């Protein structure tokens, strides 16, 4: 079983079985100082975090990755330029690019396109696959038709999708993304952190479940769900 815990904005902690059969703990876009977060960077001190995935270098996604990596020893994984930045800070990192799976022995990790901006390298989404869970974190992105290829190639069980609009997909676009991705479960993210990205996740949930029959789980910051 995989456990997905939400800390607000786009920050998730995921526990899953790796390809090697051992439990892995990962963080994605760890902005622990976001206004909705129930945790702070120091709360991770002494914990085992295997990988810290960063979809792009905007402050609300790179967030506290550097500090948390120092506290936990977790490897920062992201596009080459973000990984290089982490190395310049004296941290261990794995840098890749959009394409095939990264050379990570205990998880299958693929960086996917994201329609957004970034200072260091290209913005990305990420697919993480272990033995018991295949998860797609879209990062910050607009809608793009090649999401159907993410479905075809990687069959994510769970999709973490932004719905807040203005900087990313809004509800209308995220609903279409569900159609293209065909996940079994969707968790909305990147909304209500500040007024510009105000959105009602229950409107999104109602539309998706009625239109496609795909389960949508709205997690409040600090809540988690076990999958399957």
Count of Cβ atoms closer than 10 Å to residue 59 Cβ: 9
Question: Which residues span the domain enclosing 62?
Answer: 2-218
Rounded mean pLDDT of 206-222? Answer: 98
Domain membership flag for residue 228: no
Q: Is residue 112 part of a domain?
A: yes
Q: Give the pLDDT of residue 28.
A: 99
What is the average per-residue pLDDT within 101-125?
98
Confidence (pTM): 0.98
| 227 in any annotated domain | no
Check residue 133 and give its pLDDT. Answer: 96
Domain total of the chain: 1
| Cα angle for residues 189, 139, 79 (degrees, 5° grid) | 155
What is the residue-wise DSSP string for 51-113? EEE-S--STTTTTTHHHHHHHH-PEEEEEHHHHHHHHHTT--EEEE-SSS--S-TTSEEEEEE
Confidence of residue 1 (pLDDT cuts 50, 70, 90): confident
Looking at the domain assignment, is residue 223 inside a domain? no
* Assigned domain for 42 exists: yes
How far, in Å, CA of 214 to CA of 70, rounded? 39
Distance of CA 115 to the CA centre of its chain: 15
In a domain, 162, yes or no: yes
Q: What's the average model confidence in pLDDT over 115-127?
A: 98
* 151-173 tens-digit pLDDT: 999 999 999 999 999 999 999 99
CATH number for position 174: 3.60.15.10
90 in a structural domain: yes
Q: Is residue 93 part of a domain?
A: yes
Q: How far is Cα 9 from Cα 189, in angstroms, rounded to an integer? A: 6
């Amino acid at each position: 079983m995989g456990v997905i815990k939400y800390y607000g904005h786009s920050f998730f902690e995921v526990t899953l079985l790796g390809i090697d059969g051992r439990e892995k703990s990962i963080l994605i876009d760890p902005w622990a100082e976001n206004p909705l977060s129930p945790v702070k960077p120091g709360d991770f001190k002494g914990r085992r975090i295997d990988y810290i995935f960063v979809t792009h270098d905007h402050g609300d996604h790179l967030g506290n990755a550097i500090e948390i990596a120092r506290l936990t020893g977790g490897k920062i994984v992201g596009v080459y330029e973000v990984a290089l930045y982490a190395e310049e800070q004296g941290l261990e990192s794995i840098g890749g690019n959009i394409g095939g799976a990264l050379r990570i022995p205990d998880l299958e990790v693929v960086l996917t396109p994201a329609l957004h901006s970034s200072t260091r390298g290209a913005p990305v989404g990420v697919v993480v696959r272990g033995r018991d869970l295949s998860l797609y974190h879209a990062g910050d992105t607009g809608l793009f038709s090649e999401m159907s290829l993410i479905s075809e190639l990687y069959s994510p069980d769970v999709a973490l999708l932004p719905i807040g609009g203005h900087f990313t997909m809004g509800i209308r676009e995220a609903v279409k993304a569900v159609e293209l991705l065909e996940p079994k479960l969707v968790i909305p993210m990147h909304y209500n952190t500040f007024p510009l990205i105000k959105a009602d996740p229950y409107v999104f949930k109602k539309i998706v479940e009625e239109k496609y029959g795909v389960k949508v789980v709205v997690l409040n910051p600090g809540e988690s769900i076990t999958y399957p």
